[in-house]
């Protein structure tokens, strides 16, 4: 990890087409602006982690027997090898 000290108004260049500008420093908070190509996704790590965690939680059945009940409703049966029949 590269660690840099910057003051408000100073910039960091990443490659040829990404510019990170320190806009404001106030207490423990730093406001940055990012100028990057439109096609480049820029996301906050904590938001990505929260969405990922929510997706994992949503994929879990509320009732442990839900999967078996759904299989029965759809007419699937498990063979001795654990595969659907």
Average pLDDT over residues 66-77: 83
Give the contacts of 73 (CB within 8 A, at least 6 positions apart). none
**pLDDT tens for each residue of 13-63:** 999 999 999 999 999 999 999 999 999 999 999 999 999 999 998 887 778
48: tokens are 């990505």
Report whether 8 contacts 24 (CB < 8 A): yes
| Alpha carbons 68 and 9: distance in angstroms, whole number | 60
Residue 35 pairs in a beta bridge with 19
């Amino acid at each position: 990890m590269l660690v840099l000290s910057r003051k408000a108004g100073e910039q960091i260049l990443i490659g040829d087409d990404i510019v990170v500008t320190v806009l404001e420093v106030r207490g423990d908070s730093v406001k940055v602006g990012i100028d990057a190509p439109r096609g480049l996704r820029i996301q906050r790590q904590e938001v990505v982690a929260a969405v990922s965690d929510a997706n994992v939680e949503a994929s879990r059945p509320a009732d442990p027997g839900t999967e078996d009940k759904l299989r029965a409703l759809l007419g699937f049966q498990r063979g001795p090898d654990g595969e659907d029949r």
